[in-house]
Amino acid sequence: MKRALLFFSSFVTVAVVIYAMALIPNFSAFKTLFQNGEGMSEGSEYVANTYSLADLTRFIGSKPEHVSVVSLSIDQPDSSLYYQENNLRTMGSLGNLILLYSYANGVESSQLDPNEELSIEEISKYRLPLISQNAHNGAIERLITKESPRFTLEDAVHAMVEFNDLVLADFLWAKLGASVLRISLNELKDTLGLSFTELPLPNAAMYMAIAEPALYLPEFSPKTDSLRIDSDQRAVFHAKTLEDFYEKTADPEQFNALRASFKKNRINQNFMQERDALALFPQTTASEIAKIMSYLLLDDRLNVAVQTHILDALGWPNGSTTITRSFESYFAQYDSRMGLLSGVDFGISIYTGERRIQVILFDELPVAFWHHMSANHMQEDFQQRLIWDPALYHITKLAL
């Protein structure tokens, strides 16, 4: 009996120790999952039926409220695909195209030095804890080595695109400035006839706003709020957001308190609220992003040197085994954040030589389904294969 009790107590002790070792270092993750039980089951019925890209095309065709697609064939315009291309969607990191355009112009006009050396302290000035953390860590690992703790502005811009690093995007946004970016956006609007694409704003500014919604909105209900469609109200909201961003980041004591709050509670919203809040971010449409991409990469009205800078930044996938197997060349910017999966790309199929510019926006996705797609990189795989795989193109065309 004593031996049995001794064995049982030893077993319990070891189990408790193992459980504590697993739980304590990951307590924040366990707490997050516990608080988001409802969100983690939202859309689970779609997960079970979407384990292939063919399945995904059926989801796209049946859920126009969640997806916009533009697959523009440069060489065979009649084979282009358009689906919900004029629906307003969250722009997210696809706004980096405007930052790249402004950056390239700044370099060519000698307003910016691409070889300017930077330090981690400079680029992390606006970093918020637990926002884009993994992407930022990956970018820093690429930029900094023991042999070279500093890096150039050009290096930072390339890492921004490759890793979809929101911190680096905010650094470049601040480096360029709102007035310069507004001029760049107005140039694109005038040249391309854009009507809906809004000025990109610092990611930190937007996450600060949704962490304290009472300061900006009378009620935190962006899915039903007229801000999604009322451009005047959105302009007022974005102006307030930017004003608050400037105020808090200019005061070290206030910004450090804000960082401490993010470290403790992140944005203080559950997964579904975080997803819904993306409706408050700057917007665009798939058709307008496709126009911008076409202009920046292929239009002979744009300075060749400016285009080269942009191609260099967007060409980060080239050289990888996956890309060289299917593409002569490939250029892309992807984004993934709660409820949102998006991408803009330009690829030349190694099989046919066909050139396609594409924009695919999955917006306001159910949380569980977003986690499923994000974990499997389904959106990126779908977007790439749509260029070189005739079978997937045919299935998609039928679904849409």
pLDDT, one tens digit per residue, over 267-316 is 988 999 899 889 889 999 999 999 999 999 999 999 999 999 999 999 99
Can you tell me which residue has the tokens 């910016």? 112
pLDDT at 27 exceeding the cut of 60: no
**Is residue 227 within a helix (H) or strand (E), and if so which, with residue range?**
none
For 306-365, how does the pLDDT look when each residue is reduced to its tens digit (9 = 90+)?
999 999 999 999 999 999 999 999 999 999 999 999 999 999 999 999 999 999 999 999
pLDDT at 213 exceeding the cut of 80: no
**Is residue 347 within a helix (H) or strand (E), and if so which, with residue range?**
strand 340-349
Which of the listed ranges 263-267, 273-277, 380-384 does the model predict with the highest average pLDDT?
A: 380-384
Q: Which two tokens stand for residue 216?
A: 């900006």
Determine phi and psi for 260, rounding to 5 degrees.
Answer: -65, -40
Cα 97 to Cα 102, 141, 307: the distances in Å are 9, 24, 11
Mean pLDDT of the chain: 88
Question: Which residues in 128-162 are b (16+ Cβ under 10 Å) and which e?
Answer: beebbeebbebbbeebeeeeeeebebbbbbbbbbb
In sequence order, what are the residues at sequence separation of 6 or more whose Cβ sits closer than 8 angstroms to the Cβ of residue 152?
Answer: 114, 115, 116, 117, 118
Residue 148 carries which side chain, given as an amino acid letter? S
For 217-227, how does the pLDDT look when each residue is reduced to its tens digit (9 = 90+)?
655 555 555 66
pLDDT at 14 exceeding the cut of 60: no
d(CA 297, CA 303): 10
For 148-157, how does the pLDDT look when each residue is reduced to its tens digit (9 = 90+)?
778 999 999 9
Q: What angle do CA 211, 213, 215 make, to 5 degrees?
A: 115
In sequence order, what are the residues at sequence separation of 6 or more whose Cβ sits closer than 8 angstroms to the Cβ of residue 391?
Answer: none
**Is residue 269 within a helix (H) or strand (E), and if so which, with residue range?**
none
d(CA 158, CA 144): 14
Q: Which two tokens stand for residue 184?
A: 């760049």
Please, is 398 exposed, middle or buried when counting C-beta atoms within 10 Å of its C-beta (0-12, 13-18, 19+)? exposed
- HSE-CB for 136 with a 13 A CA cutoff: 19
pLDDT at 382 exceeding the cut of 90: yes
CA neighbor of 281 nearest in space, from 158, 197, 161: 197
